[in-house]
Structures are given as C-alpha cells and as structure tokens.
Amino acid sequence: MEHSIPPSITVAAMQQHERLAVVELLHAQELRHAALDPRLHAPRTREELASLLSTLSPNGYGALVARDQQGLVRGAVIPALWELAAESMLLAFLTPRNGITQLLTLPNPQEDAETVTSALLLAALSHGWRELHTTGDLIRWPSTDPWIARALLAHGFLLDSFMWRNCAITRRAFRLRASALRR
C-alpha cells in the first residue's frame, strides 16, 4: 500500500508577482462554482478579476497566499474587518466587529493539497481576525460546493444561511447573536 505524503504548504504575504496566479485561481474557482450552480453570478473575466484584485486593500492585515514546495500559489485570502454601526439592523445577525474576507480562493477540491491548503489558509485567516480583535467571523461560500463544510467546521465555524448565500459564522458570533435575540 502506497502512502502519499501531504505536500509542504507555506502561508505568507502575497507578493506583487503572484497576483496573476491568484487571478487564475479565482477564475478557475468561479468557473467551478458556476458549473455547480448556474444561479450564481456569471464567472468574471480574468481582466475583471485582475482589476478587482488591484482595488482590494488589506484592512489591518495583509493579503496572504499559500505556496507549495515549488513556490506555486495554491490559494489566497485577504482578511478584512466589517464594523457595524450601533443602530444597524444587521446586529440581529452579526456582531459589532466582524472578520470577513475581501477575497478567498481555495484550490480545486479534487486536488491532493486541498485539505492542507484550506486548513492552513483558514488558520491564518483566524489568526488575522484575532489580531483585528473581531467579535465574530464570517465566510461566504456557495452552498452547492459542500466540500468546504468539513474545513469550516474544523475551524469552529457553524453553517448559517442568512442573506443570499450560505455563510459560516464562528461559534462565538453565534452565541453573541443568540444572546441578543433572547433580550
């Protein structure tokens, strides 16, 4: 019986020269999602994605990429902070300081490195949110792409489905939301 050794993945700050690789990963991911659910927005062109990536700015924590042992980009995330005003009706669903992603691209779930890459990027994302002192964290991902549920649950997220796509929120955000609803 052969055992495959998981690839060595490192997570580090995104370099300017890696933007094209991130655009390619985003494009492939959008094509996969559109094939899974035609109700999602049409996949954007590479040019549109490159333009989007150039407008995103890290909000308190930098853009990260996961690289394999050959230095190839396998995934990327740009953590951000979403602060809600005290009078916001969204506080019925979220917390005052929410960790979100401006961008999250993960490798094709059929690839060997999927679990390692996803786990490392989610851990780095959680670390970034802790540095931003968030009170709840939120990841949006199409519900028709169910493989990610295992990875999210392993990082303390609970599946939720408010708004227009399924989301995952951290247990602490869920507890805060539940206690607010009981008041």
Domain boundaries, the chain: 10-182
Q: Is the pLDDT of residue 141 over 70?
A: yes
Name the residue among 98, 99, 25 with its Cα closest to residue 66.
25
Nearest to 36 by CA among 121, 148, 122, 155: 148
Asked if the 10-182 domain carries CATH number 3.30.160.270, the reply is: no
Segment among 25-29, 63-67, 157-161 with least mean pLDDT: 157-161
Q: 73 forms bridges with which residues in the sheet? A: 67
Q: pLDDT value at position 82? A: 92
Q: Is the predicted pLDDT of residue 140 greater than 70, yes or no?
A: yes
Q: Which residues contact 126 (CB under 8 A, 6 or more apart)?
A: 99, 137, 155, 156
Find the DSSP H helices in the chain: 19-36, 46-55, 114-131, 148-154, 171-182
Q: Are 173 and 138 in contact, with CB atoms under 8 Å apart? A: yes
Give CA separation, 62 vs 38, 76, 96, 183, in Å: 32, 11, 21, 37
Check whether 96 has a pLDDT greater than 60.
yes
Across the range 93-120, mean pLDDT stands at 84
CA–chain centroid gap for 135, Å, is: 17
59 band by pLDDT with thresholds 50, 70 and 90: low
pTM: 0.80
Confidence (pLDDT) at 24: 96
pLDDT at residue number 7: 66
- Distance CA(39)–CA(152), nearest Å, equals 23
